[in-house]
Amino acid sequence: NAGVTQTPKFQVLKTGQSMTLQCAQDMNHEYMSWYRQDPGMGLRLIHYSVGAGITDQGEVPNGYNVSRSTTEDFPLRLLSAAPSQTSVYFCASSPRTGAYQPQHFGDGTRLSIL
């Protein structure tokens, strides 16, 4: 049981390049989310999904796209990378139940935009 797996762990991009951050979970969780964490700050929600085919915007969605074609995968796409998107990106998942279930986080992708 791998939990939440994020790839790559590190990436350096040039301004204007595009790329996709991968997130996969093997726990059959309905909910998945993407956060970014800037130095000295807490996590901020980018996009989230409550199930396959359903996505919505979080607090800081500009410059990012997501899709959820399967329960397991929730990729985050940077359309045209900007230095302001240099950050650590975390993916999380949780099950949909009647009671609170904690989010399970991946180990993060450290992204630098030059």
User: Per CB under 8 A, which of residues 77..96 are in contact with other proteins?
Assistant: 88, 90, 92, 94, 96
Distance between CA atoms of 20 and 25, rounded to whole angstroms? Answer: 16
Give the list of residues 6+ apart from residue 51 with CB closer than 8 angstroms, or none: 30, 31, 68, 71, 96
Indicate the SS3 state at residue 84.
helix
Q: Supply the minimum distance, in Å, between the C-beta of residue 101 and other proteins.
A: 6
Among 4, 21, 66, 113, binds other proteins (CB under 8 A): 4
How near is the Cβ of 107 to other proteins at its closest, in Å?
6
**How far apart (Å, rounded) are the C-alpha atoms in residues 85 and 98?**
35
Please give the residue ranges that form the binding site for other proteins (CB under 8 A): 4, 31-33, 35, 40-45, 48-50, 58-59, 88, 90, 92, 94, 96, 99-103, 105-108
